[in-house]
Amino acid sequence: MATVKFTFEDPSIPPKTIENVPEGYSLLEVTEDHDIHLNHNCGGVCACSTCHVYVEKGEEYLEEISDKEEDFVDRAINPRLESRLGCQCIILEEDAVIEVQIPDQSRIIGHEH
């Protein structure tokens, strides 16, 4: 099972490591299942940029970025080379180790838990 380590731009939120994540889950699903706040206005169907994250390690264990996802990443707040949408980051391997930083969610108007 995969391991996903979350860090946060907001320094008041401590890092969180989630183990035993099944292959086939998206990073957004991992956040939802483990009470980690990540906005997602469109419900996870790649129709907005509110679930924007930075994949700092383990990109090779995720589905490749699509042209549609790239278009929405370009609309996110402060996109970087390692930017992805959490709803589109599907974990491909059970032995994956992935490190993700979640941008400051206070700047995003959107769906909250």
Domain for residue 2, yes or no?
no
Domain for residue 34, yes or no?
yes
Q: 86-99 burial by CB neighbour count: b if 16+ within 10 A, else e?
A: bbbbbbeeeebebb
Instruction: Give pLDDT tens digits for 61-113.
Output: 999 999 999 999 999 999 999 999 999 999 999 999 999 999 998 877 654 54
Nearest Cα neighbor of 104 from 55, 49, 43, 38 is 38
Domain for residue 112, yes or no?
no
Segments forming the whole domain that contains residue 79 = 8-106
Instruction: Give pLDDT tens digits for 49-58.
Output: 999 999 999 9
In degrees and rounded to multiples of 5, residue 102 shows phi and psi of: -95, 120
pLDDT at residue 113 in the model: 45
CATH assignment at residue 20: 3.10.20.30
Instruction: Give pLDDT tens digits for 12-59.
Output: 999 999 999 999 999 999 999 999 999 999 989 999 999 999 999 999
Domain count, the chain: 1
pLDDT at residue 49 in the model: 94
